[in-house]
Structure 1
């Protein structure tokens, strides 16, 4: 029987057997025990008996113990294999993967700085105004983009008491369009409407930190007396170079 559900009321004690776990009594015929086997159990010489339910529970507990022991062994093996230098390497790989994914997500984004916000404009009105401004700016750089393809988003919390000039993020059709706009942004300097506008790619926190470090290096070298220096992106990496060095 898979489960014992003995409900027999038996007066003879010798025809009952008690589970050593749950202490419930069962009729020996109902649990498949012979009289001789029951007699040995009653003799109390170390022989015990457990019902099917308790036996199954014990097996489950033993299985769980085996799983725990296996996990402990795996953790121990992992800890012994992962040295501090290996752990640093794994963390570096993890950071690199995350950084790559972040750059892929931002590849089509263009960041525009310096577009003033109108006071007391609702979000829809400000967006419409930004779309017109951006379309004219793109045209000045030499890139034609339809108004319905421009979806600007102001970054940061609106603060009426601030300068009202939050950065604008624009998602464009491809990374190539973003690169062309950034590369040709120098054309904006000669236009009165856009001379104070600055545009860049949508950089990750790691890229921004790297740029700040390079900017600090530039300031330090200029303070030391070096001249004709600037920051240029060489293969996507900011580097301090001479102003006449070609940009890749």
Structure 2
């Protein structure tokens, strides 16, 4: 059997474990709690790091590797109980031997430090790392350690601009010549803090270096002119900007994500607090970042209006449109009457009166009594009805006026006229009557608009016509108001299934 057949043979169970194939994950491993110790793993990694070679193999070179050319020869498996790192079954099986060694506690769980697959020797199956929160935390911690080690392992030429500011150069002599706060401020005012390198956008054919690194997305700003470009982990446009011949030094730059300051001349990080002007520039840029974040959040909130606000705006437009239609019809009626020889002055007076009454509404069914405190009670009732109709929106009801219509008769409730501060308030009440009558206290009331005498007369005539037609045998007739005018229409009958 050749090597590939050996690897793929499903019957060879003993040697197929730790092969890196995680198609069938055991998401219900019951050994995780007993076989995992994050504290010990962290201590071990802090002490030794993630190893690249099995230490047991180094101590016993006489052992014969199995399938020595396999990619999995180089994969180590870390015990998640103690942090031991050893080779897998495709080499000298030291990870398996570690598990088989008698322990007081379970060492059944291990993770491949290359593929990050988790294996349980007890279940003899892969384990889904996301099945347990603490298991996922350990795996993510180890992945982060791998990234950190990778960045730390690079030499100075490739590790510059990487974000590691442990060794700051606090005595950079190039700051004064390579820093111009005025030019930086002008540039930021014009472009803001960029999120992408503009040169990369113009030349997409360039190949990114270490394209999966977090630092791909970091830009570096020249503190001489405010130029913003990508760092050495991408297309090195910040470095190329420095290398371009200038009459003045452009050696100092700042990472606009980590705010680390780098000097190309010193080839080292610079302590931002070492120079007052340098610190002022960095603090200014940080403040600009916060301002941009706040503005962006504001724009996002503005671009996603609340549904209630949208409905309210639509209702307001519909009300205004209805009022305009009503006014047009009034003008048409006035024009017709003028043609019939009527005076123009009464018509203007009527229009003015109708406009004034738009701020009013009349409530029917409110208890009426002849007492001194009745006016105050009526006002409180009207205020409550207005607030209920506005459904939680703020409305000022302190300026409303109320009075009863007609003379008082014992046992009879007179209509209550409410005069609001604006037509919008009255319109809201008239449109949201249902939101008022759902309350038991007001279930028997009704709300109507305040009409002029001419409007009431028009309605009376239409009502007489309706009664006449009903007496003549017509059915399914009703009165509706179209554009502010009453008219008779045929109602659709209700068909029972």
Q: TM-score, normalised by structure 1?
A: 0.53
Match for 2:367 among 105, 113, 116?
Answer: 116
Q: Considering only aligned residues, what root-mean-square deviation do their CA atoms show, in Å?
A: 2.8
2:404 aligned partner: 154
1:231 Cα deviation after fit: 1.7
Post-superposition shift, 1:187? 4.1
Change (3 A) 1:86 1:180: closer
The size of the alignment, in residue pairs, is 154
Q: 488, 491, 496: which is aligned to 1:240? A: 488
Mark the CA change 1:212 to 1:188 in structure 2 (over 3 Å): closer, same or farther.
Answer: farther
Q: Distance in 2 between matches of 1:231 and 1:101?
A: 25
Tell me the secondary structure at the aligned position of residue 440 of structure 2. Answer: coil
Are residues 1:212 and 2:464 paired?
A: no
Is 2:440 the partner of 1:192?
yes
Distance 1:183 1:220, change over 3 A: farther
Relative to its length, the structure with more helix (as a share) is: 1
Give the whole-Å Cα distance in 2 for the aligned partners of 1:215 and 1:195.
26
Secondary structure of 2:398's counterpart equals helix
Aligned to 2:341: 89
Unaligned runs of 5+ in 2: 1-336, 493-497
Larger Rg: 2
Note closer, same or farther for the CA distance 1:238–1:186 as it changes in structure 2 (3 Å cut). Answer: farther
TM-score (norm 2): 0.28
For residues 97 and 135 of structure 1, what CA distance do their matches in structure 2 show?
32
The 8 Å contact of residues 360 and 420 in structure 2, kept in 1 or not, is answered as: yes
SS at match of 1:89: coil
Query: Matched residues in 2 for 1:219 and 1:177: separation?
Result: 34
> Which structure has the higher relative contact order (CA within 8 Å, separation 6+)?
1
Residues 86 and 214 of structure 1: is their aligned pair in 2 closer, same or farther, counting only changes over 3 Å?
closer
For residues 203 and 241 of structure 1, the distance between their equivalents in structure 2, rounded to whole angstroms, comes to 21
Does the alignment pair 1:227 with 2:478? Answer: no
8 Å Cα contact 1:135-1:145 kept in structure 2? no
Point out where structure 1 has 5 or more consecutive residues left out of the alignment.
1-84
| Distance of 2:338 and 2:431 partners within structure 1 | 40
CA distance in 1: counterparts of 2:476 and 2:339, whole angstroms: 43
